[in-house]
């Protein structure tokens, strides 16, 4: 569309019919054919909106008035919903959220991957779509001379003080409140991003949903914590179920939460949690899925699509701390896991031992380098599982997979658009997408996770 044909200008008020939702859950409508994104508007709604930003092919508008609200609209229960960037679908009923996620996957597969001949099942939701997260990370700062701890306001670095976050486990919330109160009582200075001064940067709390164990990680700018003994005593007194108090030192001027140095101030180095029958040790730095209830649902689906009988060799590329590998190992002859982060591989090995699993082998490296090596060594995979980050699989890895010719591929994806791109390559290489199962790992947010069963055509 050429510049002069854009039918809107900044600050113009328009009436729109919202046709569907974009990938962040924002409403999408058209004004004289020109696409406008309207955060907070729902599909089917007629609204009045004010144009706030105009680009070449699309623009953004602010919702002013609901002329005809959707029957899926619900009041968002969180008092800081509008200011916090964390969740974006609280105004949509949970059933509506599940439908949106199924639709988004279907549309992406068709539009980007031209994958249309496949069943995208209804999203598997949870009974309780609140209080599901096992890890809370709260930044600290100063506001009008007082210590605040909460969330960065949408699109900025201003910290909004927060008492409770409705998608966090209650105990995560409770610990944050206690740490904040103790910090104020002991006169601990919060970190100031602009000056690089102040001590307390973040608190991270990890909750073992099934074990009830709690880990508190204080991330500090510098090693010395004044009145450290009092800190520990107070935390233990206020939250007796804390089993581990950890300090992580981060003195760099960066947005990255963790620094390189971690030490245990009191208690255990790790907490434990279970997924299905497996137990995992979780350290301050290691990655663990944040929704433990749905993780089990996700992995069971992966197990189903892997179709194991006990004789198979399985490769788990992008294995993280080996959660999927170990889940599959009990039903397979042998599992090989590969992962780029060395600490995660250490955790994977430790977790294998913890669960008495001896048919899983873990290697540090990129999947795209290690898998061709395995192929050369003569390892024949019957099933390959991939669970890549948002950018999807490297094309060279997909080519290696095609050369290794596993009977089945299980793709676990957190990004439907890169998934669609990768499925096209696999389909062109002789595979068929059999079934797609979206699993809601992140209720109230627009994040979409799915598991895909893929089969070699000649079997």
Q: List residues near ligand SAH by CB under 6 A.
A: 287, 289, 318-320, 323-324, 338-341, 344, 366-368, 387, 389
Structure tokens at 100: 């949106």
Active-site residue (options: 87, 165, 393, 414): 414
Tokens 């549309």 — which residue? 107
Measured from the CB atom, the residue of 112 and 341 that comes closer to ligand SAH is: 341
Measured from the CB atom, the residue of 159 and 317 that comes closer to ligand SAH is: 317
Smallest gap, in angstroms, from Cβ of residue 32 to ligand SAH?
43
Smallest gap, in angstroms, from Cβ of residue 277 to ligand SAH?
17
Measured from the CB atom, the residue of 273 and 368 that comes closer to ligand SAH is: 368
Q: Which residue is nearest to ligand SAH (CB)?
A: 320
Measured from the CB atom, the residue of 54 and 371 that comes closer to ligand SAH is: 371
Residue 450 annotated in active site: no
Smallest gap, in angstroms, from Cβ of residue 434 to ligand SAH?
21
Tokens 């002329």 — which residue? 67
- The phi, psi pair for 278, rounded to 5°, reads -95, 145
Measured from the CB atom, the residue of 110 and 341 that comes closer to ligand SAH is: 341
Smallest gap, in angstroms, from Cβ of residue 362 to ligand SAH?
11
Smallest gap, in angstroms, from Cβ of residue 339 to ligand SAH?
5
Active-site residue list: 414
């Amino acid at each position: 569309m050429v510049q002069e044909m854009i039918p809107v200008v900044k600050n113009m008020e328009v009436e729109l019919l919202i046709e569907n939702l974009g990938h962040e859950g924002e409403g999408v409508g058209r004004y004289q054919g020109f696409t406008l994104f309207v955060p907070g508007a729902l599909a089917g709604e007629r609204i009045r909106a004010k144009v706030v930003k105009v680009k070449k092919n699309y623009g953004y508008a602010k919702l002013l008035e609901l002329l005809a609200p959707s029957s899926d609209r619900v009041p968002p229960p969180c008092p800081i919903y509008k200011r916090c960037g964390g969740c974006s679908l609280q105004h949509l009923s949970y059933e509506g959220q599940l439908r949106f996620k199924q639709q988004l996957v279907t549309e992406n597969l068709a539009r980007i991957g031209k994958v249309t001949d496949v069943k995208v099942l209804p999203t598997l939701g949870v009974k309780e779509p609140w209080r599901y997260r096992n890890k809370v990370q709260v930044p600290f700062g100063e506001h009008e001379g007082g210590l605040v701890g909460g969330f960065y306001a949408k699109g900025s670095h201003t910290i909004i003080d927060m008492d409770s976050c409705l998608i966090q486990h209650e105990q995560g919330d409770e610990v944050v409140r206690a740490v904040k109160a103790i910090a104020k009582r002991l006169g601990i200075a919060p970190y100031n991003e602009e000056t690089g001064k102040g001590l307390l940067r973040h608190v991270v709390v990890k909750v073992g949903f099934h074990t009830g164990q709690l880990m508190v990680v204080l991330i500090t700018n510098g090693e010395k914590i004044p009145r450290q003994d009092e800190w520990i005593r107070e935390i233990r007194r206020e939250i007796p179920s804390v089993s581990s108090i950890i300090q992580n030192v981060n003195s760099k001027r960066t947005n990255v939460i963790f620094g390189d140095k971690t030490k245990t101030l009191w208690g255990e180095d790790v907490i434990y949690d279970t997924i299905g029958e497996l137990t995992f040790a979780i350290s301050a730095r290691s990655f663990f899925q944040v929704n433990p209830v749905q993780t089990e649902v996700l992995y069971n689906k992966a197990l189903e699509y892997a179709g194991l009988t006990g004789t198979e060799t399985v490769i788990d590329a992008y294995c993280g701390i080996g959660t999927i590998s170990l889940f599959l190992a009990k039903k397979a002859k042998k599992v090989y896991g590969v992962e780029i982060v060395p600490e995660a591989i250490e955790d994977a090995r430790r977790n294998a031992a913890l669960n008495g699993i001896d048919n899983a082998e873990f290697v540090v490296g990129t999947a795209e380098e290690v898998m061709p090596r395995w192929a050369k060594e003569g390892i024949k995979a019957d099933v390959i599982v991939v669970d890549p980050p948002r950018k999807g699989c490297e094309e060279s890895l997909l080519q290696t997979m095609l050369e290794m010719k596993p009977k089945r591929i299980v793709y676990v994806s957190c990004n439907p658009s890169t998934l669609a791109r990768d499925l096209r390559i696999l389909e062109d290489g002789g595979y068929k997408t059999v079934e797609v199962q979206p699993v809601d790992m992140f209720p109230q947010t627009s994040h979409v996770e799915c598991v895909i069963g893929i089969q070699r055509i000649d079997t």
